[in-house]
Structure 1
Amino acid sequence: IFESDSKDKTVKKLREWSRVELYTYSKLIELYPERTDRLAYGRNMLMDKAHLLLPDYIFIVDLDRFLTSVSSFLSNFQYDTNQWSVMTATAHNTYYDIWALRTLSDSVMNYDVWHRVSELETPPNNYCHQSVYDGIIGIHIKHIPIEHGLIEVRSAFNGAGLYKVNSTYNCKYDGGGYTCEHVPFHLCIREKNQARIFINPEFQVGSV
């Protein structure tokens, strides 16, 4: 588990867990002021640690959103494991992680939504924040029915992702330029390792 800059009792609680390797940094924000850079640093560290264990799979989760069931997780393995490299989660209610999402389409959800919002809010555009948010991000925050089949994408996360380890080599997370750190990593594993990334509507997670 990687933790940084917590102001509550998170570290104390984590240290009570006997079977956890904990990497904690109390002042990482001073080295990496941008949240996306801190997330990339932590994810890269954990990925490197995981590679040393020589696993078949690496399971990456954001612990503040990881409320799921065994059957939900195991739904990833009802699909031919030769046909997928990464399975990412959906939600019990609405799919929220639009920032990490990049579809296979060349025109729909294949851009950084927050960069687009910023462009439209600032001169010479000066559009209202709420209308821009609703039109760029809110319109895509929808429920994905559990019976929907797998959705192949260029990038996704939504709080949890199961990775075949051979798809993760020679790529790094990068949050530079206030970009979602998952996107450069996923585009890299698609290009270098021919990874196939899916959203699995049966793999549902929620907030703790």
Structure 2
Amino acid sequence: KSPDYPSIHIESEANVTGERTVVLAHARNRLWKLVGEIQEPIDYVLSMDMDNVNRKLAHVEECLTLPSDWAVCCTNTYSIYYDLWALRTFDDWVDKDVLKISAQRRQRLFRHIPASEPPIPVKSCFNGAALYNYRRLKSLNLTTYAGLDNSGTRICEHVVFYQSLLQQDPNLQFYIQPKMLNTGKPRSAAVWRLLRSQVEASFNNPNLTRYYSTK
């Protein structure tokens, strides 16, 4: 614990090896284990990547407007929703591992989601930050991230986690909350050309100023 900030606990571990997804899965599992050891009651857990994608994370409280049985609330991005690898949707937007399709096809899957859109039910998501309804999840095994499939191929650890949650409780509901926004990652010039007018329309919409002015 930090002597200056006693409520902050920093975990570190040496000699964790393997694919990046394996290391991430190990870290996420360890953090959930630590959460489970906390004695005080916990309502929500915010998990976020500690890099520039969340430099302007805002409106997390909008997760609390989701249907009362929500389990996970993932962030949107001010400009272009970037985390297609962790995303699985109920429609054909992203229904498979995007790394298994061509870069040209993958490029066409990027979207701008206006903050005016209703919450989007999904099978899996992250996009740099997610709020977990711990009251809904605490009875489940949450240390189920994995970075490799049974054949040893690299996979997105978030997708494995969500699949495990649904196996334990098929009634769980996961959402992208369009009003919860982060900075995200820059996309290619080609993607920006395709979506620039949509992004600008959201930023210029007076009804959405309270969301986009944060950036």
Give the alignment partner of residue 86 of structure 1, picking from 72, 79, 84.
72
Give the alignment partner of residue 175 of structure 1, picking from 125, 138, 147.
147
Distance between the aligned counterparts of 1:139 and 1:159, measured in 2?
A: 21
1:145 aligns with 2:89: no
Code of the residue aligned with 1:84 in structure 2: it is W
Distance between the aligned counterparts of 1:24 and 1:16, measured in 2?
A: 18
- What residue in structure 2 maps to residue 188 of structure 1? 164
1:133 aligns with 2:130: no
Structure 1 unaligned segments of length 5 or more: list them: 2-13, 118-131
1:24–1:15 Cα change, 3 Å: farther
Post-superposition CA distance 1:170-192 (Å, at most 9, x none): 24111112100000111111231
Post-superposition CA distance 1:44-73 (Å, at most 9, x none): 000111122241221111111222355x11
Q: Is the 8 A contact 2:93 2:109 kept in 1?
A: no
Distance between the aligned counterparts of 2:89 and 2:46, measured in 1?
A: 22
- What residue in structure 2 maps to residue 41 of structure 1? 26
- What residue in structure 1 maps to residue 182 of structure 2? 205
Residue 24 of structure 1 deviates from its aligned partner by 1.5
The SS at the match of 2:12 is strand
Structure 2 unaligned segments of length 5 or more: list them: 186-215
Identity score, percent? 26
Code of the residue aligned with 1:68 in structure 2: it is K
Code of the residue aligned with 2:84 in structure 1: it is I
1:15–1:102 Cα change, 3 Å: farther
The SS at the match of 1:68 is coil
TM-score, length-normalised on structure 1? 0.75
Distance between the aligned counterparts of 1:111 and 1:183, measured in 2?
A: 10
Code of the residue aligned with 2:62 in structure 1: it is S
1:26–1:89 Cα change, 3 Å: same
TM-score, length-normalised on structure 2? 0.73
Post-superposition CA distance 1:101-136 (Å, at most 9, x none): 00113x54221111x13xxxxxxxxxxxxxx2121x
- What residue in structure 2 maps to residue 111 of structure 1? 96
Code of the residue aligned with 1:44 in structure 2: it is N
Residue 99 of structure 1 deviates from its aligned partner by 0.2
- What residue in structure 2 maps to residue 62 of structure 1? 49
Code of the residue aligned with 1:184 in structure 2: it is V
The SS at the match of 1:188 is helix
The total of aligned residue pairs comes to 174
Code of the residue aligned with 2:108 in structure 1: it is I
Distance between the aligned counterparts of 2:182 and 2:13, measured in 1?
A: 27
